[in-house]
Amino acid sequence: MLTSLNVAVVDYDAGNTLSVTRALEKVGAKVDLTPDPERVSQADAVVLPGVGAFGDCVRKLEERGMDAACREVFEAGTPFLGVCVGLQVLFEQSEESPGVKGLGILPGTVRRFRAGDLKVPHMGWNRLDVRREHPVLDGLDGEAFYFVHSYYPEPGTPEDLISTSDYGVPFCAAAGRDNLIAVQFHPEKSSRAGLKLYENFLAWARA
């Protein structure tokens, strides 16, 4: 049963955790919103939200031992979903916080938008262009999701790119490999399509 999955939402004072938790519960997840790295490591699936600056999020993860827990989750093959800055911190570095090392689970750099006359941050609804089929994005190609960000990841390995969107320039909207997928947008703020993504994540985690 999907409801038997224990989904840990990483609580490190840097994420939209309440909205993420409610969305997951709405699609049938048993959610453990936890600041405890051990409980994250033992979960059946893990969601890493993130809001704010890259450097601050990395620091808070490190202070709580969640950086090591996230790497352990990935290496153990546990289904793992990153959201917004929870995508960005998986990469090696960001132009937002020079000198700060990310988790380095995915190679690449997080870049600031250089979108001509368009306002930064990018805020609003944009459609996904799924470049590589993935169970978590099943049925969501062309759907609109809600974005709020000034930076986006540039994967160092092209195969890690899963979907793009466009804001003056094409940008990475989802990336991942193996048991990991992460998205730049906010599924929990994206109405029906967002709930479908979380539903897909539960189904993928169960498989």
Rounded distance between C-alpha atoms, residue 11 and residue 14, angstroms: 7
Output the pTM of the full model: 0.96
Catalytic residue check, 188: yes
Which residue is catalytic, options 96, 143, 188, 199? 188
Catalytic residue check, 186: yes
Q: What is the dihedral of CA 184, 190, 195, 201, to 10 degrees?
A: -10
Which residue is catalytic, options 122, 149, 172, 186? 186
Grouping H, G, I as helix, E, B as strand and the rest as coil, residue 73 is helix
CATH 3.40.50.880 matches 2-206: yes
Which residue is catalytic, options 84, 96, 172, 199? 84
Grouping H, G, I as helix, E, B as strand and the rest as coil, residue 43 is coil
Q: What does each of the 207 residues of the chain score in pLDDT, given as a tens digit?
A: 444 689 999 999 987 899 999 999 999 999 999 999 999 999 999 999 999 999 999 999 999 999 999 999 999 999 999 999 999 999 999 999 999 999 999 999 999 998 788 999 999 999 999 999 999 999 999 999 999 999 999 999 999 999 999 999 999 999 999 999 999 999 999 999 999 999 999 999 999
Q: Which tokens hold the place of 185? A: 């947008």
